[in-house]
A and B are shown apart, each in its own frame.
Chain A
Amino acid sequence: MRASYYPGCSLHGTAKEYDLSTRLVCKELGVDLEELPDWSCCGASSGHSINENVSEILSCRNIAIADKKGLDLITPCAACFNRLKAGEKILREDGKKRQDLEKRLDFKFKGEFKIYHLLDYIINAVTIKKVKDRVVNPLTRLKVACYYGCLINRPNKVTQCDYKESPVELDALMEAIGCSVSEWSHKNECCGASLSLIRPGIVNNLVDKLISTAKRSGADVIVTACPLCQANLEMRQSQGFGVLNFTELLGVAFAIKEIDECLNKHLIANTLPL
């Protein structure tokens, strides 16, 4: 399986371990990732907050590159995924805007590919069965709280996600590698990552509430599918509770050696009960 890969800025920076574990796990699952040539930033919250036009240009520039390649486009970042999907929605549904964007970006939208968040790709394109087949080290002693955050699912008209209130995909994947999963109330409650640098006081408050709830559910660790959630949950808590990328746990279950390199990069040391 070949796919275009959009890592996003975080994965080339503070979330290097998410990038590395994504590449390792995809290789193990037979997914050949081809990094999108000369990709640019998706604009994130700042783009759509103060300049809608810039935000649209930024997502559509990346879509235009992917469109030329014609391969499915995968990103492990929930925020990038959301922006790419927002751009795609315009190109597919708003004829007038599409023409304008095509002219400005000098391309013709064919749209013969899908945009996936990595989690969605593994579940729907790779399939859970194939993941199960690869497990050599089932994580049966580990209980995880799956944290989805906001932008994988909402707004569901953009993400086309079926489970806007109570997502289940990550839980299913974690069960497939042997983990037990906790039922908890804050699966997709916002962690405030966009304000993390500006208003740490407020964000500490949001994050500590999340961590306490995960702890109370009996989880050993929180698992995320977004580099911004992961960094924010790790940086803005006072409880020393582990927060891992879902790809890292897949890597451990597949017994990929280099995964230790990823686990060592975390601010909170993780001792997984394996």
Chain B
Amino acid sequence: MESILDIVNKKADTRVERCYQCGKCASSCPMIKFFDVPPYKIIRLITIGAKDSALSASAIWLCTSCYACMTRCPNDINITKVMDALKEINLQEKAACHEKDILIFHKIFLGEIARLGRINEFRFVGKFKIKALKLFQDLALGLKMFKKGKFVFKAEKINGISGLRKLIR
């Protein structure tokens, strides 16, 4: 069986075993104080084959993909892409995910693209709020945006939607 190290390296087109634990990724990361596992430790977990620990970290979902870590990594490890690779593997292997709302968000987002070809923010946010049980979050903000005419209620659908669906479903 292919090791988690090989799978991640291949998916992220990088070589995580080059990491020497300098911690520059963590000091560059805007999300570090909200992470359960810092990026260099996730890299180490992959290198030593601690697959379950790497796949179940909340940090892989909380990563905002700002690319600061990979820009500064002295060993040129594409850490941001490693985080994406771990999310994909997590889903393929149905591993534990402690950030369900983030996963719901991504799934609804891609579902909307498959339906319409574009995102209508009002529709998308509504769907997300219902599914994630967050209906009452940001009500005042939503009202303010409504009053400013920020929302477009009529969703746009692309002409080539059936072709697009075949490609992405």
Binding site for B on A (CB under 8 A): 9-10, 12-14, 16, 38-41, 43-52, 54, 57-58, 61, 104-105, 150-151, 154-156, 164-165, 189-190, 192-195, 197-200, 202, 206, 235, 265-267
Contact = CB atoms under 8 A, between A and B. Distances in A.
B71 A155 contact: yes
A150 B68 contact: yes
B41 interface: no
Query: Which of A38, A46, A189 has the most CB atoms of chain B within a 10 A radius of its CB?
Result: A46
Interface string B88-125: 10010000000001110111011001000111111001
B62 interface: yes
Chain B contact-residue range equals 35 or more
A195 B80 contact: no
Nearest to B83: A49
A155 B70 contact: yes
A14 B141 CA distance: 13
Nearest to B106: A46
Interface of B: 11, 30-31, 34, 62, 64-68, 70-71, 78, 80, 84, 87-88, 91, 101-103, 105-107, 109-110, 113, 117-122, 125, 128, 132, 137-138, 141, 144-145, 148-152, 156, 158-160, 164, 167-168
Contacts of A105: 167
B128 to A, nearest CB: 6
B150 A197 contact: no
B interface majority secondary structure? helix
B31 A155 contact: no
A190 B64 contact: yes
Contacts of B118: 9, 12, 39-41
B42 to A, nearest CB: 15
B75 to A, nearest CB: 15
B128 A49 contact: no
Contacts of B121: 9-10, 13-14
Contact of B113 (A14, A40, A155, A190): A40
A46 B113 CA distance: 11
Q: Which 7 pairs of residues, A with B, have the shortest CB-CB distance?
A: A190-B66, A154-B67, A46-B109, A46-B106, A9-B119, A150-B66, A13-B121
